[in-house]
Amino acid sequence: MTKNISLIDLDPRIDSGFFMAKKDNKEAINGDFKGKDILSLDQFSPLDISILFKHTKRMRTIGVNAKPSDLLKGNIVTLIFYEPSSRTFGSFGAAVKQLGGQTIEVHDVSATSVAKGESLEDTIRVFEAYCDAIVIRHPIKGSIQKAADAAFFVPVINAGDGAGSHPTQALLDLYTIYEKFHRLDSITALLCGDVLHSRTHHSLIEGLSIYPNNTIYLLSPKKLKLSREDFAKYSKNNIKLIEIHDEKDIPENADVWYWNRIQRERFENPKEAEKYKDKFILTQQLLQERGSENLIILDPLPRVGEIDLNVDADPRAGYLRTQIRNGMYVRMALLSLVLDKA
């Protein structure tokens, strides 16, 4: 259903036909990204992902050759982050600028009216008056949906929703896996760390569920396994999930190792996180014992000890190489599709 709010008539961009009033619920992409909120991976089909990846390849050419592009000329994108970020914030900002657009960058909401008690909804409605899309990160799961509901016509992109999801991270992870294996089906992946709280793990599970015949091993301390609610939700998808709690159970044939730090900020008592910090560290020795020859090692970063520095030189390590740069290309492609400029 289209949002039924008369306030939308107040924005002259509606009259000019530039914007349409948005629908008030999450929409499947269905081959058409224009104006849609990007909230989670369950909006995507294999066709949608292949459209995105086709554009990503074009974006890569622009980025690699520092080729001037004015695809987003005239567009303004607001980046509003209620939580710290380096890569997601930096790569969205770079993506807009690579394509000739401009950004409003709010990295510290304590310097905005949020500090005076302004609601998330009002903040979103204010910024949408100034821009064509909003990229938002928030520490509380469910807030990005709230932001999308509040925006009358500007698309909202989820850049990290508390311990919930992080769809653009998963899209770049899928792209990086695809680059390596030229397929996204029949993949065996190992996801290691704080599976309970890691939104990057959650979204990658959803992303790999879009394709047939994938198996994911989830290696975590017992206390940090998926919530039973999430386990049931993800198991309904087209994916085999196997929970393990000992390195000895790592399968030797995994294609992808995806490590993510313990999410300290999600614990009621951050000291509790310390207990798990050194439980599973990816070392050269572990790689020798359980890693396959053709493996790709990924980490959404920041790294806070979960991968030993000695692993960086291993040719299988993708986390400080392609994974980061791919984040910018995928976000360039996504923004240009959502803004109908691809």
Query: What is the binding site for ligand ASP (CB under 6 A)?
Result: 160, 166, 199-200, 260-261, 300
Residue 126: partners with Cβ closer than 8 Å, 6 or more residues away: 113
d(CA 39, CA 41): 7
In 176-244, DSSP assigns E strands to 188-192, 215-219, 240-244
Closer residue to ligand ASP (CB): 71 or 311: 311
State the residue number with the nearest CB to ligand ASP.
300
Q: Cβ 260 to ligand ASP, closest distance in Å?
A: 5
Task: Give the SS3 label for residue 54.
Answer: helix
Task: Give the SS3 label for residue 12.
Answer: helix
d(CA 79, CA 89): 7
State phi, psi for 40 to the nearest 5 degrees.
-160, 165
Closer residue to ligand ASP (CB): 35 or 160: 160
Closer residue to ligand ASP (CB): 69 or 145: 145
Closer residue to ligand ASP (CB): 36 or 199: 199
Residue bearing tokens 């030229």: 182
Closer residue to ligand ASP (CB): 69 or 143: 143
| Burial status of residue 56 (CB atoms within 10 A of its CB: 0-12, 13-18, 19 or more) | buried
Q: Cβ 186 to ligand ASP, closest distance in Å?
A: 27
Q: Cβ 291 to ligand ASP, closest distance in Å?
A: 22
Q: Cβ 166 to ligand ASP, closest distance in Å?
A: 5
Closer residue to ligand ASP (CB): 166 or 341: 166
* Residue 182: how many other CB atoms lie within 10 Å: 7
d(CA 43, CA 32): 11
Closer residue to ligand ASP (CB): 27 or 83: 83
Beta strand pairing call for 188-192 and 133-138: unpaired
Closest CA to 11 of 148, 153, 134: 153
Q: Cβ 138 to ligand ASP, closest distance in Å?
A: 11
Q: Cβ 31 to ligand ASP, closest distance in Å?
A: 28
Q: Cβ 221 to ligand ASP, closest distance in Å?
A: 16
DSSP letter for 38, please.
B
**Helices (H), ranges, 223-278:** 228-235, 270-274
